[in-house]
Structure 1
Amino acid sequence: MMRKFLLISLMFYAMNSFAGIVVDNPEQLRKAVQKAKPGDTIVLKNGTWKDAALNLDGKGTAQKPIVIMAESPGGMLLTGSSYLQLAGEYLTVKNLHFNQGFTPKRAVISFRADSKNLANHCRVTGVVIENYSQPERFKTDTWVIFYGKYNRIDHSTFVDKLNSGPVIIVELDDERSQQNYHRIDSNYFNGRPRFGSNGAETIRVGVSRYSLSPSRTTISHNFFERCNGEVEIISIKSGENTVSFNTFFESEGGMVLRHGSNNTVESNFFNGNNKPFTGGVRIINPGHKVFNNVFYQLKGKQFRAPLSIMNGVPNSLINRYYQVKDVRVEKNTFVDCTPFLFGAGKDAERTLSPQEVAFKNNLVLSKDSCIYENLNDDNGIKITDNGLIEGANTRSKTVGNAATGFHKIKPKYLRIKGHELPYDAKYGADLKQLSFIEAKNTGAVWFQPAVKTTARKAKSFQLSSAQSENFNQLIQQALSGDTIVLMDTGYYKMKEPIQINKTLVIMAAKNLPKRPTLVNASFNSLPSFLTIENGGRLTVKNIAFKGTLESFGGVDAGIKSSESPMNQSYYLNVAGCEFYDFNESSQSGIACAKGTLADTLIVSNSIFHHLSGTGINLSSEKDDKGIYNAEFVNITNCLFTNLLGSAINVYRGGNDESTLGPFVSIDYCSFNEVENREQGAVVKLIGVQQAKITNSSFLNSGQGGRSIQFQEYRTDHILVDYCNFYNSGKIESFYNNAAGPHIYHDEPGSVKMASASNDQQALGAKF
């Protein structure tokens, strides 16, 4: 990010870089801080400090803090297992850069040295943390943890945390860290990929155990860009905090008042930019104030709605849901958003409706079919004197009539930071006083993200079956974006898995009479033919995978994600391939390893046949904590025939509500003689939150139980439609609402089926 004053800033630091004590290793630094007097400056010599343990304990004063700073901004790089711990009072740490490593501690930056020595009135500013995630995605750490009181982190940049744990935590685990008045301001948070599990917040303030205690932390003037880790971008789990003047841009999830009371959400800009799943504010617990915010083009629903007010639990445990009471939602502006949800999460446990909630003087411009949905409709939410822009919809889904409490108005429009926003003196946010924070005004002023360049144009490499022993060498030689072409239809004899850690295409040459075939030519069992490693993005076209060859060893899967630690999601696209002769019940055509996540898995025009195990197995996460192995699964025009096990198995156990997926689409597929064992299931979609099975045919399959098995929750979206089940098992779901109106049980080729096909083309795979 360029700054107009960047050159001036660098000149200033250059002139003052040697004004203090210069140190060039952690031990010198520790001693210098111990001996430092108020007002001293300690300069960290430029260079790379690897595995540096920076333990700083000193005492400055409010007027004369002890300053610890890089010789030049960002010139001192902390790598490996480096970390920073602060204790004492009035220390200021400036312009450090953490990169190419991960912390061995609980935090990269901690405002305490240990449980006895905390930091108070300390500040960390101008810091960058990037490329600093644990290699294993479920190894938990945090980049910044606050303890003590009156500490601050500001004008810092945090880029793409990939492993479990929030980017920033405010702890309240003893009285010395409660009522703390910490400040988190003017920072830039760029990216938090979907994590596929709970525990991927960007900021968390408190935990449920201490949520009845005030924190009084201020989170202000930050920019959150595409922070998509889970449903909670900011998770407030304490009382009397203020979240104000922040911008949330294209971030999936919302600002969640999860535990604690009397919090304030003021003057924020929630800009969804019409992206799916972008949310605003979710409210739980009593006494909150939400006012003067702008909610713009947010498209989330349920817990990700632009405004979501939840039902509570009677006699709630501290870690569940206290009833919403005495809450004010006033003078906010909503522009082109999905409907609000009042009574979110209502179920057999969460039965206490919100009470004494004032929703007034808000301004709404809605193009949706309704403004809000109230699952309770008991007048616990008082909707009074709100402005509705003339021409917008005025319906409430709950009552089916014009929503009360809204008055049609003709507002003015103001152009603010490139957005035309409605403005009215009485209704909605005070746009004339509201300054939307921009990315360029946040983060470390000196930081320039590295620009990735392509080393060369993508190349294509040819490989014959006679050159099979060169396969791995060719993969290592290839660069990201290259293509490996298998030139003939012979056996490509593998003695070890091919490891994919870059973007590659492996494909058959065009116009071959049949597919090139990968086989195991070693006497040892192989975990897979192709193993996707961390950072791998693989496309495979028109290749056959044969699991058994004469007296050689078996293969656990044709394609599988790595058992080695991974912190990045992977991509797999399989087109026109064949998987067969995997003859053990534990083997699969395509499989995943525990702890790995595919952001996208696409399988099209492929055949799975004569398998003793599973065709596509995405069920390695069995801890029942809401974790799953693939975000988007699209299976199109595939044939599964003669499988002893299931054709497709996708598993997400537990009732955690922090994630969106998996999203599963199965279209134009055929299942013939698949999983006919007692109580089996041809397609198992356990806990899948979004699933659609259409235009598919089940023939002589699932006869011992189920053709399709769901175990869904109330808010999951599942559908089976335009499918034929001939001599096959049932569709099973918990709420028994998965089947659409176009379900058939007819012999393929019958007159009735031909008539049905006129509506929705031919059911099943088309080869």
Structure 2
Amino acid sequence: MKKLVTGIAMLLTGYAGFAADYFVKSEKEFTEADKHAIAGDNIIIANGSYAPWAVKSTANGSALRPIVIKAQDAGKVIFSGEVTQTIFKITGNYMHLQGLNFNNCILNKANGKNGLLIDLNNTKHSRITNCTFQKNSAKVQFMPLVIISGEGEHNQVDHCSFISNQDEQDLQVQINSPKFPTYTLINDNLFSDKYKVSWKVFNGGECVQIGQDPVLKGTAMAKATVRNNRFIRCNGEGEVISNKSSGNNYTNNYFEDCQGELVMRGGHDCVIDSNQIKGGTGGIRINGSGHVITNNTISGVRTGIRLMYGMSKGKTETGFYVAATNCVISNNHISKADVGILVGDNKNQDWTGKFDTNKYPSRVIQDIPPADNQFKNNNFTDTKQTIVYK
């Protein structure tokens, strides 16, 4: 039988090898439980409000017996207040975070550290599930609530709710080449009522961001999957989903009345399949090469699908924006739009002084047109102009 951990209520099933429950009420008790937890155990956080709170978990579960860090009762363990460290930093494998509530957290920077709610760092097969992130905000631009980081793989965020957050990024897969997470799965989450950012530069309010540097790291093959999520009234900025890496899959997501688009800001060889976009300012925006945009249903927007000009084309030339080339746009249904498909948006856009040309050795004029794209079996109803070339 496992030994009792001093200061922690630990319930055993009675036989060696069975799961143990560690019941904790403080950071100190959590850290002690984490030292002793083995595959199949549960670390149960007592109902209540916690502020501040910052812990690191290094425990490891197994494929059949993950370690679960969970609320005593789902939704009744609440983290709030100013956050200047990482509330949960998970570095072990086969770890699950379950049923936690992050409400009115204010992310900030202090003593060289960034406030962060959850970081799955170098983890494999770990999961964030059934958690709520509501009315959280950031004091500094480009701060995410949740990060998948490091050289991890097969991590998952599912059945979580991101509601009424502002001035932050909800969920970020961090691409720091050459080491970055692969095969991340983001599924069956709700993103809703995201407020417009207050920043002078209208940026940093994405719901989902896969990669951060499309210019120098856009070719990184993250191979993430974003599927079966709902995005309702997500108005943070122009990119509801921001893709900045390669080989990702966006399937069967639902967007309603969002002041933004599903955006391939950079990266290549992504699949955008069977998504539904209803109302809002736009549909799908494409930069990069080799994307497949198919079976999507888009209605009630100004422009259904936009293929953009760039400063370069292909996978080997450096450009702050890469022109949409060698993409397949097929079997999409676009209705009640001003323009169904726009081939060549942002023509001759001048970016002089708007980015660091020493860091990003790119031309500054967006004058490379979309090229070698295939348009097949797209259907348009009640649309003023079906396909427009600029």
- TM above 0.5, one fold? yes
Structure 2 equivalent of residue 279 of structure 1: 282
Structure 2 equivalent of residue 162 of structure 1: 166
The CA deviation string for residues 595-617 of structure 1, in whole angstroms up to 9 with x for no partner, is xxxxxxxxxxxxxxxxxxxxxxx
Structure 2 equivalent of residue 312 of structure 1: 310
TM-score when normalising by structure 2: 0.83
Question: CA–CA distance in 1 between the matches of 2:249 and 2:143?
Answer: 25
Mapping of 1:337-352 within 5 angstroms? 337-339=337-339, 340-347=341-348, 349-352=365-368
Instruction: Indicate the SS of the match to 1:191.
Output: strand
Instruction: Indicate the SS of the match to 1:110.
Output: strand
CA contact (8 A) 1:52 1:81 kept: no
Structure 2 equivalent of residue 236 of structure 1: 243
The CA deviation string for residues 341-400 of structure 1, in whole angstroms up to 9 with x for no partner, is 1100111622222111111111110242x223210xxxxxxxxxxxxxxxxxxxxxxxxx
CA contact (8 A) 1:149 1:176 kept: no
Whichever residue aligns with residue 338 of structure 1, its letter is D
Matched, 1:226 2:233: yes
Instruction: Indicate the SS of the match to 2:34.
Output: helix
Structure 2 equivalent of residue 330 of structure 1: 330
Structure 1 equivalent of residue 376 of structure 2: 360
Question: CA–CA distance in 2 between the matches of 1:182 and 1:25?
Answer: 31
Mapping of 1:180-259 within 5 angstroms? 180-195=182-197, 197-206=202-211, 207-208=213-214, 209-259=216-266
CA contact (8 A) 2:142 2:205 kept: no
Structure 2 equivalent of residue 265 of structure 1: 272
Structure 2 equivalent of residue 110 of structure 1: 119
Whichever residue aligns with residue 326 of structure 1, its letter is N
Structure 1 equivalent of residue 353 of structure 2: none
Deviation of 1:31 after TM superposition, in Å, equals: 2.0
Structure 2 equivalent of residue 515 of structure 1: none
Deviation of 1:106 after TM superposition, in Å, equals: 4.2
Question: CA–CA distance in 1 between the matches of 2:258 and 2:366?
Answer: 27
Question: CA–CA distance in 1 between the matches of 2:49 and 2:25?
Answer: 10
Structure 1 equivalent of residue 156 of structure 2: 152
Structure 2 equivalent of residue 321 of structure 1: 321
Aligned length: 339
Deviation of 1:319 after TM superposition, in Å, equals: 5.3
Relative distance call for 1:140 and 1:199 in structure 2 (3 A) is: closer
Deviation of 1:77 after TM superposition, in Å, equals: 1.1
Question: CA–CA distance in 2 between the matches of 1:96 and 1:33?
Answer: 17
Deviation of 1:100 after TM superposition, in Å, equals: 2.8
CA contact (8 A) 2:56 2:89 kept: yes
Q: Which has the higher contact order (CA 8 A, sep 6+)?
A: 2
Instruction: Indicate the SS of the match to 1:29.
Output: helix
Deviation of 1:54 after TM superposition, in Å, equals: 2.7
The CA deviation string for residues 653-678 of structure 1, in whole angstroms up to 9 with x for no partner, is xxxxxxxxxxxxxxxxxxxxxxxxxx
RMSD: 1.9
CA contact (8 A) 1:279 1:306 kept: yes
Instruction: Indicate the SS of the match to 2:298.
Output: strand
Residue from 364, 372, 376 that aligns with 2:387: 372
Matched, 1:33 2:34: yes
The CA deviation string for residues 409-455 of structure 1, in whole angstroms up to 9 with x for no partner, is xxxxxxxxxxxxxxxxxxxxxxxxxxxxxxxxxxxxxxxxxxxxxxx
Instruction: Indicate the SS of the match to 2:28.
Output: helix
TM-score when normalising by structure 1: 0.43
Instruction: Indicate the SS of the match to 1:20.
Output: strand
Relative distance call for 1:46 and 1:19 in structure 2 (3 A) is: farther
Gaps of 5+ in 2: 1-18, 109-113, 350-364
Question: CA–CA distance in 2 between the matches of 1:121 and 1:34?
Answer: 20
Deviation of 1:214 after TM superposition, in Å, equals: 0.5
Percent of aligned pairs with the same residue? 26
Question: CA–CA distance in 1 between the matches of 2:177 and 2:378?
Answer: 39
Instruction: Indicate the SS of the match to 1:346.
Output: coil
Relative distance call for 1:139 and 1:235 in structure 2 (3 A) is: closer
The CA deviation string for residues 469-526 of structure 1, in whole angstroms up to 9 with x for no partner, is xxxxxxxxxxxxxxxxxxxxxxxxxxxxxxxxxxxxxxxxxxxxxxxxxxxxxxxxxx
CA contact (8 A) 1:225 1:249 kept: yes
Question: CA–CA distance in 2 between the matches of 1:141 and 1:312?
Answer: 28
Whichever residue aligns with residue 172 of structure 1, its letter is I
Question: CA–CA distance in 2 between the matches of 1:200 and 1:318?
Answer: 26
Whichever residue aligns with residue 214 of structure 1, its letter is M
Whichever residue aligns with residue 323 of structure 1, its letter is A
Deviation of 1:80 after TM superposition, in Å, equals: 2.0
Deviation of 1:76 after TM superposition, in Å, equals: 1.1
Question: CA–CA distance in 2 between the matches of 1:172 and 1:314?
Answer: 22
Question: CA–CA distance in 2 between the matches of 1:33 and 1:24?
Answer: 13
Question: CA–CA distance in 1 between the matches of 2:62 and 2:81?
Answer: 33
Whichever residue aligns with residue 365 of structure 1, its letter is T
CA contact (8 A) 2:312 2:319 kept: no
204-213 or 326-335: bigger deviation: 204-213
Question: CA–CA distance in 2 between the matches of 1:262 and 1:140?
Answer: 26
Whichever residue aligns with residue 92 of structure 1, its letter is H
The CA deviation string for residues 613-642 of structure 1, in whole angstroms up to 9 with x for no partner, is xxxxxxxxxxxxxxxxxxxxxxxxxxxxxx
Deviation of 1:195 after TM superposition, in Å, equals: 2.2
Question: CA–CA distance in 1 between the matches of 2:317 and 2:82?
Answer: 39
The CA deviation string for residues 524-560 of structure 1, in whole angstroms up to 9 with x for no partner, is xxxxxxxxxxxxxxxxxxxxxxxxxxxxxxxxxxxxx
Residue from 63, 87, 90 that aligns with 1:86: 90
